[in-house]
Amino acid sequence: MASTLTMHPDRLFSSNKIERDIARNLYQHVEKLPIVSPHGHTDPAWFAENKNFSNPTELLIHPDHYVFRMLYSQGVDLDQLGIPRKDGSHANADPEKAWQIFADHYHLFQGTPSRIWLDYVFVNTFNITEKLNSSTASHYYQVINDALQTEAFKPRSLFDRYNIEVIATTECATDNLKHHQKIKNSDWSGKVITAFRPDAVVDPEHEKFNAKLVQLSELTNLDCQEYSQYLDALRQRRLFFKEMGATSTDHGHPTAATANLSDEQASVLFQKVQDTPTASDAELFRAHMLVKMAEMSLDDGLVMQIHPGSHRNHNQQLFAHYGRDKGADIPANTEYVNALKPLLSKFGNNTDLSIILFTLDETVYSRELAPLAGHYPSLKLGPAWWFHDSPEGMMRFRRSVTETAGFYNTVGFNDDTRAFLSIPARHDVARRMDCTYLAELVARHMLDESEAVTLAKDLAYNLAKEAYKL
Amino acid sequence: MASTLTMHPDRLFSSNKIERDIARNLYQHVEKLPIVSPHGHTDPAWFAENKNFSNPTELLIHPDHYVFRMLYSQGVDLDQLGIPRKDGSHANADPEKAWQIFADHYHLFQGTPSRIWLDYVFVNTFNITEKLNSSTASHYYQVINDALQTEAFKPRSLFDRYNIEVIATTECATDNLKHHQKIKNSDWSGKVITAFRPDAVVDPEHEKFNAKLVQLSELTNLDCQEYSQYLDALRQRRLFFKEMGATSTDHGHPTAATANLSDEQASVLFQKVQDTPTASDAELFRAHMLVKMAEMSLDDGLVMQIHPGSHRNHNQQLFAHYGRDKGADIPANTEYVNALKPLLSKFGNNTDLSIILFTLDETVYSRELAPLAGHYPSLKLGPAWWFHDSPEGMMRFRRSVTETAGFYNTVGFNDDTRAFLSIPARHDVARRMDCTYLAELVARHMLDESEAVTLAKDLAYNLAKEAYKL
Amino acid sequence: MASTLTMHPDRLFSSNKIERDIARNLYQHVEKLPIVSPHGHTDPAWFAENKNFSNPTELLIHPDHYVFRMLYSQGVDLDQLGIPRKDGSHANADPEKAWQIFADHYHLFQGTPSRIWLDYVFVNTFNITEKLNSSTASHYYQVINDALQTEAFKPRSLFDRYNIEVIATTECATDNLKHHQKIKNSDWSGKVITAFRPDAVVDPEHEKFNAKLVQLSELTNLDCQEYSQYLDALRQRRLFFKEMGATSTDHGHPTAATANLSDEQASVLFQKVQDTPTASDAELFRAHMLVKMAEMSLDDGLVMQIHPGSHRNHNQQLFAHYGRDKGADIPANTEYVNALKPLLSKFGNNTDLSIILFTLDETVYSRELAPLAGHYPSLKLGPAWWFHDSPEGMMRFRRSVTETAGFYNTVGFNDDTRAFLSIPARHDVARRMDCTYLAELVARHMLDESEAVTLAKDLAYNLAKEAYKL
């Protein structure tokens, strides 16, 4: 049984008429603003090569761990979905059958942001007018698959159609950035920049740490097993990334720990962690390197993003068979006040430094992050992240943070996604939720509507540009 | 001064007209569904013997620690309420005087779920039409007391009148289940099943641990001081409970710690904890046994419930005089992501295993539990529990959990109560709050109303039956 | 561009008409009740000397770390604001220029309680009708400055105009309370009492600990380097404070730790901490002294306030230059269940003891504090504190606490401020938010409106008087 799929123009707004009407008005001012996407994980090859996407399953299911983790949680086999195994086995899943399984389980997404994003894509990108379910699955597959063969659905066409002003991808410090180079050299005007992600060369527990140091040495002609040359190599790579458009670095550490070691201590520790580091050696080295990265940011002006608190690859069997990023990263209790103190003692008062903090632990919004960002000039707060990139998550963020840190210690929205087609949907949700929050403040006489219009535009567009120097 | 007591038909729904009207409609679909009560602590003797309840105080105050803890917090003496002391002293409290004290302090319950539940019982079970206060106390006592002498207010009559399809009680692993046997043998059709609770034979810090091992040996004709026979005895008891209707086990541990010891390690540790275990020995043994219980669940199909995080008997003076379950169990910070990893590494991906997680620490809803349950096929989330079994508590649960885990990784409602008469009231609150939450999603255009009807019925009835295999 | 500044009569209430109308009615019953301010940090010299306040900047910016921390977080230099340095340097900031900077950045406060409080002061104390911004800054400065020179804006006049029934200041245990003495001796009827704050003589890590012990010896003619005389000296000072009107003590510890040492252990530890205490010595001594303070409260009847969980002076550079209380105290994760157990084991069941608990860690509201206060007769909960003294903070407090602890285990509102002029504004916010919360309960049929009227008055006035014995 098919039923009509539409996107209601008032979706996500409060159903209270007074607040809804204000939200509607605010939203009119931001709905069509260009998309600024300062942090995300789309594949630059898409925009460099501009090939057609292969099929609905590879485009909408395989890169979206939000989607397949839910299916997996209800007993769906990843092999049947065609999620690639590390060893290449079980790679023969039929994409259309995988799509059918997805459709059969689509009710699982009721109440989740994935449902909102996907429906938005179905309606706005593919003009589909029936809901996805078991009986419409093959219709969906065909419509989407047909569209994907056309010029209008190539990556650059979609980028332009989506009104993306700038998008940042994220590359490892040792990446050669050839796709970004190719985009730069092309006659296409789309702005696709990179972000400097040094985790693999900074985290001794990264499975490729030593191999990456070798690679770093080769790239820079420096001896990256030696501490001072290693730092020089990192400086060099940062400058290369900056030349290729990067305005930020990104640090995905297990905790927010920072440390100030002397050069001598750091040099000794660096030798140790190249051997067989203990967990505390590794933690201390990462902590120290976060401070060094801040120091380098003061030199080269790159904005520093810290994304701590994910317990990566929690499901060891899954990791063994399918590798990273398969929906098995689980948030952990994360502490910032003591963890960041060494960094803040050294550079926290510096108005030239810009550090954007993220969290997966919502308890720190009002207890730690808002008080820190509402005091230290170097700190700002990134938006509700990952599991909290959702209507309720965004509302909890604004409600917990604004009263202590205000709006101007926040940095607008990040979509943080690999799922390219969901980007307009995600920004739309963020804009609607910010309008919903602002409308409530107006309706309760805590803000004037004209102030709220300015704020809505700042939250949707200006703050991201300023905070990320775009 | 007496004033009218009524239960408003729209109680608990949002007062926003749009949402209220949707909630009303949803509620019509679930209001009269049978009660499935898969986890609770009613006394099976009530249903086996079917004697009249003694008096209002013994029925409504003494078994309800939610009630007398509040009175105690405001200076009411437990002796005056007739709460029995361990040594039998002070046992001569007049139940009618105790009822008067309760009534004198009834305003303390404003804003609490106890007030909602009690008023529901007064109106719907006893047809009382005035509010409880000092001046109506004796009228209340008389009306309730008179009713309790009648056939219509015997346990089985109430059970039938309450439209209870099935209720689970909870018994110690060494219980002989004679009441359940008697119910089975009777001509009454009420379905009263047990649940297997092995805490006393699994937790070396339980005050009766060694005595219970002796009892377990006697029951099973096995040497339960020896590890492998001990495990066999547990298997045997689980099967006996299963024969008597049990579909689940229940584990009330201080933490969620799990551990995978080898048979040899476990055997040595088991000897040690029968002697004078250290706190960490005890914790490790409990942790190991949780994994063994999961292993046994894979064999016998019993659903596993884990209820961690209560600091039991926090008030030592009270414990000394009155014993357990006197309102002095206090929730503690509870960690799941690392704690459950040994269990999940071993069995987490097994679609035949069903583990239902509960918490008293609401901070883990969005940070740990929803991400875990939204990934691992073996995990589901129990409802808002104990202190959080309340309108706000339920709303926080849905708001924090749904966006990451959806609805179908949750298991419907548990009343978890010793207060038999409150059961319909508690299920009614849960149904109303779920309708309130769903109505908001519909009013904000995130769900269709027809989807919400299906969900309301699933949350009120179907999910509990499925998750508990009832 | 100037625009009109008004305070909407329905501000902060829900915009839902049903709830707003109920809130309006409730608020009429509490709007004009006298202010009871049982905990705060105004300067008693103001009321003793009754001099005119100097200028807008010194009155409204310098004592208000909520204000200048936000400016600082966005790069404003504290020297330019005229915040005094410890060494007296940079003290020549022009107060009118500082005011202009404040006005230039006033948009930063959108969405924060500071904005609500300040606008309230501008409208209700100074009758200003235009919004504060860059272009109205000098008009504001002049209007406020002119007013401050007049009789009607002297401290006592404002105190009377604000309808303050009683206000408590906070003084160090070694304070001579000369200002309170002078107020007592004056013909002014304003009630300004003190509160006993022994942190400096109880916390070995306080920078003046040893010097304060010397001062305590001098004041009491006892040898305060010796444990038993030290305790006697504290008893003596408590009685002196009580004679000067104090009804409470206040304890601002880093954690909620308590400990029961024997006299002998305590005596040895006391010697040790006067030397060079380790962090754990200091913690243990503070923990022990909290229990001794409770013991003394049982003797002298002073209500005990515990304010744990602030990481003081997090910004070391700022502390070095500007000293304490400069907006750089950051909340930390705070545990109560285990921390308070030694104290509660000893005195928790005593109905003559009254301990009021506060927190900066909102996660403990529903998990720890409400369950503790809803059980122990000695415990009550202070209102949402500091960073959480805000509309959302108050709502989270009521929503998290009420269902378990009810209303009568809470103690009404504390303004806790040094910013004298903001006191009516802060109480007004608290009254409006409590009415908003109660209105929701009424609109959802969980309370009768007549019950809500009584509760509104209790929360606004009666509970504070009772809890603080005023």
Between B376, B403, B447, which is nearest A73 by CB?
B376
Q: Please indicate whether, in this complex, the C-beta atoms of B315 and C406 are within 8 angstroms of each other.
A: no
In three state form, how does the secondary structure of C450-466 look?
A: HHHHHHHHHHHHHHHHH
Residue B2's pLDDT is: 53
pLDDT category, B466, cuts 50, 70, 90? very high
| List of chain C residues whose C-beta atoms are within 8 Å of the C-beta of residue A338 | 311, 332
The residue length of chain B stands at: 470
CA distance C462 to C412: 8
pLDDT digits 0-9 by tens, B143-183: 999 999 999 999 999 999 999 999 999 999 999 999 999 99
Interface test with C, best of A19, A367, A376, A451 (most C CBs within 10 A): A367
pLDDT category, C353, cuts 50, 70, 90? very high
pLDDT category, B1, cuts 50, 70, 90? very low
- Render A292-360 in DSSP notation, one character per residue: HHHHHHHHH--EEEE---EETT--HHHHHHH-S-SS--EE-----TTTTHHHHHHHTT-TT--EEE--S
pLDDT (mean) for C135-142: 98
CA torsion B319-B321-B325-B329 (nearest 10°) is: -30
**Residues of chain A with pLDDT > 90: what percent?**
97
Q: Report if residue A445 sits inside a domain.
A: yes
CA distance B302 to B242: 8
pLDDT digits 0-9 by tens, C300-351: 999 999 999 999 999 999 999 999 899 999 999 999 999 999 999 999 999 9
Q: Say how many C-beta atoms besides its own lie within 10 A of residue C146's C-beta.
A: 11
pLDDT (mean) for B127-137: 97
Strands A196-197 and A171-172, bridge-based pairing = parallel
pLDDT (mean) for A388-417: 98
CA distance C236 to C300: 10
Q: Do A283 and A345 fall into the same domain?
A: yes
CATH of the domain at C131: 1.10.2020.10
Tell which of C116, C135, C153 closes a domain: C153
Q: Report if residue A4 sits inside a domain.
A: no
Q: Report if residue A6 sits inside a domain.
A: no
| List of chain C residues whose C-beta atoms are within 8 Å of the C-beta of residue B14 | 444
Is C1's pLDDT higher than 80? no
Q: Do B36 and B105 fall into the same domain?
A: no
Tell which of C153, C174, C200 closes a domain: C153
**Residues of chain B with pLDDT > 90: what percent?**
97
Q: Do A79 and A26 fall into the same domain?
A: no
Domain that holds residue A94: 52-153
Is A1's pLDDT higher than 50? no
Is C361's pLDDT higher than 60? yes
The residue length of chain C stands at: 470
* Structure token pair of residue C169: 């200041």
Instruction: Report pTM.
Output: 0.98
Secondary structure letter of residue A37 according to DSSP: E
Q: Do C82 and C32 fall into the same domain?
A: no
Which helix (H) or strand (E) segment holds residue B379: the answer is strand B379-381
Q: Does C178 touch chain A (CB under 8 A)?
A: no
pLDDT (mean) for A175-198: 98
Q: Do C77 and C27 fall into the same domain?
A: no
CA distance A377 to A347: 10
- Residues β-bridged to residue C331: C310
3-class SS of residue B284: helix
Q: Please indicate whether, in this complex, the C-beta atoms of C13 and A444 are within 8 angstroms of each other.
A: yes
CATH of the domain at B199: 3.20.20.140
pLDDT (mean) for C109-125: 98
Is C153's pLDDT higher than 90? yes
Q: Does C5 touch chain A (CB under 8 A)?
A: no
pLDDT digits 0-9 by tens, C409-457: 999 999 999 999 999 999 999 999 999 999 999 999 999 999 999 999 9
Q: Over the Cα atoms of chain B, what is R_g?
A: 23
Is C277's pLDDT higher than 80? yes
3-class SS of residue A379: strand
Nearest-by-CA chain B residue for A320: B345
Residue A92's pLDDT is: 81
Between B108, B363, B388, which is nearest C406 by CB?
B108
Q: Please indicate whether, in this complex, the C-beta atoms of C402 and B112 are within 8 angstroms of each other.
A: yes
| List of chain C residues whose C-beta atoms are within 8 Å of the C-beta of residue A408 | 74, 107-108
Q: How many CA atoms lie within 13 A of A50 on its CB side?
A: 17
Q: Please indicate whether, in this complex, the C-beta atoms of B112 and C403 are within 8 angstroms of each other.
A: yes
Which helix (H) or strand (E) segment holds residue C145: the answer is helix C137-148
| List of chain C residues whose C-beta atoms are within 8 Å of the C-beta of residue A444 | 10-15
Q: Do A394 and A250 fall into the same domain?
A: yes
| List of chain A residues whose C-beta atoms are within 8 Å of the C-beta of residue C387 | 366, 370-371, 403-404
Q: Report if residue C69 sits inside a domain.
A: yes
pLDDT digits 0-9 by tens, B11-67: 999 999 999 999 999 999 999 999 999 999 999 999 999 999 999 999 999 999 999
Q: Do C268 and C294 fall into the same domain?
A: yes
Question: What is the sign of the dihedral through the CA atoms of B450, B455, B457 and B463?
Answer: positive
Q: Does A377 touch chain C (CB under 8 A)?
A: yes
Q: Does B19 touch chain A (CB under 8 A)?
A: yes
Residue C2's pLDDT is: 53
pLDDT digits 0-9 by tens, C185-200: 999 999 999 999 999 9
C-alpha distance from residue A223 to each of A82, A202, A218, C145 (Å): 42, 15, 8, 66
Summary mean pLDDT of chain B: 97
Residue B91's pLDDT is: 75
Question: What is the sign of the dihedral through the CA atoms of B210, B213, B218 and B221?
Answer: negative
Q: Do C81 and C221 fall into the same domain?
A: no
Q: Does C409 touch chain B (CB under 8 A)?
A: yes
Is A350's pLDDT higher than 90? yes
Q: What is the number of structural domains in chain B?
A: 2
Residue A2's pLDDT is: 53
CA distance C7 to A448: 11
Nearest CA to B186 among B10, B46, B39? B46
For the ranges A80-94, B3-17, B291-305, C232-246, the lowest mean pLDDT is seen at A80-94
Q: Do B37 and B60 fall into the same domain?
A: no
pLDDT (mean) for B313-338: 95
Tell which of A153, A188, A220 closes a domain: A153
Q: Which residues contact B383 (CB under 8 A, 6 or more apart)?
A: B389, B394, B397, B410, B411, B412, B413, B414, B430
pLDDT digits 0-9 by tens, B381-396: 999 999 999 999 999 9
Q: Report if residue A431 sits inside a domain.
A: yes
CB C180 within 8 A of CB C48: yes
Q: Report if residue C59 sits inside a domain.
A: yes
**Residues of chain C with pLDDT > 70: what percent?**
100
Q: Report if residue A398 sits inside a domain.
A: yes
Q: Over the Cα atoms of chain A, what is R_g?
A: 23
Q: Does A355 touch chain C (CB under 8 A)?
A: no
pLDDT digits 0-9 by tens, A317-341: 999 999 989 999 999 999 999 999 9
Q: Report if residue A1 sits inside a domain.
A: no
pLDDT category, B92, cuts 50, 70, 90? confident
Between C11, C73, C317, which is nearest A446 by CB?
C11
Q: Do B314 and B262 fall into the same domain?
A: yes
Q: Do A144 and A195 fall into the same domain?
A: no
Q: Count of A–C CB contacts within 8 Å? A: 122
Which helix (H) or strand (E) segment holds residue B272: the answer is helix B263-273
Q: Do A71 and A42 fall into the same domain?
A: no
Q: Please indicate whether, in this complex, the C-beta atoms of B367 and A14 are within 8 angstroms of each other.
A: no
- Residues β-bridged to residue B379: B355
